[in-house]
Structure formats: structure tokens, C-alpha cells
Structure 1
Amino acid sequence: MKFIVLFSAMTCMAALSFAQTNTFPPNGAMGLGTLTPTTKLTIDAGGIRDGILIMGDAVGAYSDVQFKVKSTNGFATYTPVQWNISHRNDGFFSGTAGSSTLEFYSILQGTGYLAPLVFKNTGDVLLASPRNTIKSGNVGIGTVNTSLYKLAVEGTIGARKVVVTQASWADYVFEKDYRLPTMQELEQFISKHKHLPGVPSAEEIEQNGIDLGDMQKIHMEKIEELTLYMIALKKENELLKKKLEKIEQMLEGKQ
């Protein structure tokens, strides 16, 4: 009998001790692990590393986490959302009150591989693809092989304007000490190499691609060289024209 009474007392004390960390006050707020909930549901795990676990026992099914916004102007529901937050992963979702927006972000960090997921209602729904990646600060779209490029795109890029900055430009062609190749030198080089001096060959372009900034600089260099050739040709034509006029005058005087 004493054992039964002692056992019952210990059970009640344990239950009361556990209940002291949970509260269900009449104001609708719920606290698990805390007696002072500050939101509709406040969970304080203390020093325990585990958080919330949602499980389902149906074969082939998974548990859903639903985020609902009670508004006729905003999102009605986001379901299902497969979401994982732990000490190894970062993530958050945010909304802007009154503007009918909800942004959901997930960055899964593994062995140097980052896979961002972005869901927005700013006019588009952006779904991350396994072919899109951010790795070591480099961004890949349609590819995970970014190599040393800050942005690698597998496909066609459409843009209204592209700005490429250059440390130097080809105006050095107009300097007095610039050596302009002679027409004979230019002809010999083209005959031997099948491309203009200073311009990458077709083989180099196939292997390494085109640096837009450098190629624009090379194009400008050739345009400025052509301009100098044209100026020189114009001067030569003027001299020939004057010589021809003198010859015509001499022939007219003999008649």
C-alpha cells in the first residue's frame, strides 16, 4: 500500500513538473517549453538541438507544412512546402503587409554546393532548377559548371544593353610612335596566318571563346588602322591628281 501511494505521488509530481513548462492560457496563445508565449504558438526547446518533427505513416507520402495568409488580397495558401531548417541549412520566408507579397527563400548548403529556391508573387514564380547553382560566389544558369566565371549561362541571353568596362582602349593607334604595318607586311601576314595581326585565330576562338571587351578593343584598333590607311591613301591620291594635272597642262601646251 505504501508503495502504491509513493508511486502515485511521484507520478503526479513528474506530471506537474513537466506541465510547468507548457501553458494553454485562455487568450489563445500556446506555449510549449515556456510559460510566457509571445505569439499564437511559442516553442522553446532550450538547449535541446531537435526542433519540430512532422511525420506521416502513409507509404510514399510526406508531411505537408502549410503557410496561409488570411487575406482576400494576398496569398490564400502555400501548400505543399517541403522545408528543412537545421544547424546546417539556412532559410527564411518573408511577407510585406498590405502589398500582397510573399517571398520564400531556401539555401541548402552541402559540400560547397548551394541551391537557391525563390518563390515570389512579383509577377513571376521563380523555381530553382538543379542546373542552376551558386558556387563559391559564381552563378550558373542552366549549368553547374561555372569554371572561373562569375556568371555562366548555358543558352541564349537577351538584353537591352550590355556594358563592358575596359582598362585601356585602342586610341594608342593615333600616337606618333605607333608603328603602322605596311601594306606589304599586312599582305604577307594574311597570306601566312589567314587572319589579321593581333586578331585571334578561328582555332583560338573555338577553344577559348571571345572576350567581348578585348574583341571590341581589337575591332577598334583595326578600324583606327584602316582610318590611317585611308588618310594615307587620300594623300597619295591627291599627289597623283596634281601630277596628272601637270602632265595634262604640258600636253595641252605642246598642241
Structure 2
Amino acid sequence: MKKIIYSLVVFAISLLSMSTHAQTAMSLGVNDTRNISEPPRDYGEREVKADLKFLTTSGISTAYGFTTNLTISPGFNGTAGYISQLSFNNNGVFYRNGDYFSSSWNGWNKILMSDLSGNVNLENLKVNDLFEFGSELDNTYSTFIIQGPNSPTGEAGKRDIIFNFKYAGQSGIRAFRGDEWGTFLQLMTSQPGDVTGTARVRMHIDQYGKIGIGTVNPFYDLDVNGTISSQNLLTTGSIGIGTINTDGYKLAVNGIIRAKEIKVESGWADFVFKEDYKLPSLKEVETYINENGTLPGVPNESEVKANGINLAETNALLLQKIEELTLYIIQQEKRMENIEAETLLSKEIFP
């Protein structure tokens, strides 16, 4: 940008030196026309002119102050191009142009300039189409920094990147520092029907990396205030539903579970039918029931209330009792057959 400015100045001085009367111009005077607003059509053919103006007269600012305008009119009844004007003041360097016959100028544009290190200081930047940043070269690194304040803390010192869609609302990224040493990041969108079009916070990431969806105060690594739908859920920790205390279990539910099918992979009770299994006598079972109020191996009511039951162990235990009951029935069946045979034999001997 500096090269452009220098080129325009050199061009203006060159025009002065090329006088048709072969006169030598050693300097360019500045006219004091601070209160006069001159449209492009007021400038002559092949003219270079410097004028002192009020900022308000030039239309650069409404504040009090001065600026110096350098105007270049290439002439030839406008066929050589627009009349160009540079304006130099304490706020920077500005540029505008206008048609040779026009009664008004096009708008001012501030010229961007870099320091000796190549850094450009931007206050307001408007890009209508494409903004490219960084390099495509291998092994290069680019950083885009938006500076933020140390105070105030919280959203009062926020820094936003907003995507504005006409008639549809906004999306954005927001960053700010917290009350402690740390920073926050938020993602924002507008919902349909929101007449304000203002983006609302949808996701919040705090200074510890905790993510909140639907909440800006995440308590867990992922804290969701709403409904989650997932085809697959993989976790290496524990899940609590209706409770935050899983008590060492992989899944802890404080409520009612409804399911079409539950598959349990555990041991089974087929050992009852093996030859070395010692089946308690019915007398032993009766004695145990009288003393404990329950079947052998089955927890009583107070134990279940205190500790709950293990679904797999309970099903296996119930199967064990059914298998034992089956053996008792078989024993009774054999005993009945023996009694019937003895009765029949007695009738034959003693008719």
C-alpha cells in the first residue's frame, strides 16, 4: 500500500515538472480551502492540487480536525479515467475517486499500511467475497490472532466471529476470559422463527475442557441439558441413569427399566443333575425352612431390601431349586411305584 501512495505522489510531482512553459516546479503548495467542498467536476484538465480541508468538509469524519487532500485529474474530458484523491490526516491515509463530470465523489476508503515488520493493524475490515489467510507452502505455520482484554471478565469482554445470513439469522464463535485465569469458547446459532436473528449459545467449552450442550455451566466432561439419541454408545467408565452414584457398577439406574429382551452371560445350575451332587433330604429342607423362613441358598426379604438381587445368580438359583424339585418328584414317583408293586404282591399272596 505504501508503494501505491508513493507512486501517486511521484506521479503528481512529475506532472508539475512537465509544464508546457518549461518552468521548473521545486515544491507543491497547499491551498487553504478548508470550508470549500469541491466535487470532481470542479477540477481542470491534467491538474494536480493540494488543499487543506476540515475533516467535515471532506466528509471523512464528523469530528473537528484537519486533513490534506491531494487531487489528481488526468483530464482529456474524463477519457483518461476517474479523478483520484488522497487525503492525509492523523487517522491515516484515505482514498476516493469520482467521474470527471460528476457532482459528487464515491465513498472514502482507508488505505491499509504495514509497519517495517510487515504487520498490518486493522480496526474494521470488510471483505465482500474471498479472504485468504496463510500459505500453501509445505512446513509453514500460520496464526490468526484476535486480541482480547484482561478486564472486564466474562462476556463483557467477549470476542465474536459472526456469520450473518440475510433474513435467516446468525451463527458464530465466541471467546472470552473467565473470572479466574482461563478462557471459554462458545458455538452459537439462530433458531427458525427468531425475529431478532441473534445467535444463541448452543455449545460451551470451559477453561477445563468440560463441554456443555444446552448449558453454560458443565459439571462433567460432557454435560447435556436435553435428550440424546444414539445408535451406538461406547464408554470405558460407568453410566448412571437417574443417579450420579454408580457405586462401582458399569450401569446404575435409579428407576424402572423396560426392555424387550435382556441377555445375561453367566454360570448355570446343571450341576444338580450330576452324580456327585448331594441332594438335601426333604427333612433337611423342612428344618432349614423352619429355622430361616426361606429355601436353602435363597436370600430372605431383609437381605433383598438391603442389597438387591443379582439377576443372573437369582435365575440360576431358581433353576437349581426347580431341578432339585424335579429330583424330589422322581424320587417320590419311584417310591410310589414300589408301594404299588408291594401292594399288588400282597393281594396276590393274600387274596
Q: Match for 1:150 among 220, 230, 250?
A: 250
The yes-or-no answer on 1:44 pairing with 2:151 is no
State the Cα distance separating 1:213 from its structure 2 match: 0.3
Contact preservation (8 Å) 1:89, 1:108: no
| Contact 2:210–2:222 (CA under 8 A) maintained in structure 1 | no
Correspondence for 1:208 = 307
Assess, with a 3 A threshold, how the Cα gap between structure 1 residues 203 and 79 changes in structure 2: closer, same or farther.
Answer: farther
Shift of 1:143: 1.4
Residue among 18, 21, 29 paired with 2:120? 18
Counterpart Cα distance in 2 of 1:85 and 1:244? 88
The 2-side partners of 1:251 and 1:235 are apart by: 24
Assess, with a 3 A threshold, how the Cα gap between structure 1 residues 24 and 83 changes in structure 2: closer, same or farther.
Answer: same
Which one has the largest radius of gyration? Answer: 2
- DSSP 3-state at the match of 2:188: coil
AA of the residue aligned to 1:29: L
1:118 to 1:232, Cα distance in 2 relative to 1, 3 A: same
- 8 Å CA contact retained: 1:67, 1:78: yes
**AA partner of residue 130 (structure 2):** A
Residue number in structure 1 paired with 2:209: 89
Indicate how the Cα distance of structure 1 residues 192 and 223 shifts in structure 2: closer, same or farther if over 3 A, else same.
same
**What does 1:152-167 correspond to in 2, within 5 Å?**
152-166=252-266
Q: Which has the higher helix share?
A: 1
Gaps of 5+ in 1: 38-42, 56-62, 70-76, 93-103, 120-124, 128-133
Q: Is the 8 A contact 1:66 1:79 kept in 2?
A: yes
Aligned to 1:250: 349
For the pair 1:184 / 2:307, whether they are aligned, the reply is no
Question: How far 1:89 sits from its partner (Å)?
Answer: 2.0
Gaps of 5+ in 2: 1-87, 93-111, 137-142, 149-157, 161-173, 177-185
Per the normalisation by structure 2, the TM-score is 0.46
- Inter-CA distance 108–12: structure 2 relative to 1 (3 Å threshold): same
Instruction: Tell me the equivalent position of 1:141.
Output: 241
Report the AA paired with residue 83 of structure 1: M
Residues 137-194 of structure 1 show CA distances to partners (whole Å, capped at 9, x for unaligned) of 111111112111111111111100001110x211111111111111111111110011
Q: Tell me if the contact between 2:242 and 2:255 (Cα under 8 Å) persists in the aligned partners.
A: yes
SS in 2 for 1:65: strand
Superimposed CA distance per residue, residues 21-71 of structure 1 (whole angstroms, 9 cap, x where no aligned partner): 997554x2346xx4679xxxxx833999x975468xxxxxxx9921579xx
1:29 aligns with 2:152: no
2:205 match: secondary structure: coil
Out of 315, 325, 344, the residue aligned to residue 226 of structure 1 is 325
TM-score by length of 1: 0.61
* Percent of aligned pairs sharing the same letter: 27
Question: AA paired with 2:119?
Answer: S
Write the letter of the residue equivalent to 1:188.
Answer: T
Per the TM alignment, residue 108 of structure 1 is displaced from its structure 2 partner at its CA by 7.9
Gap change, CA 1:147 and 1:153, over 3 Å in 2:
same
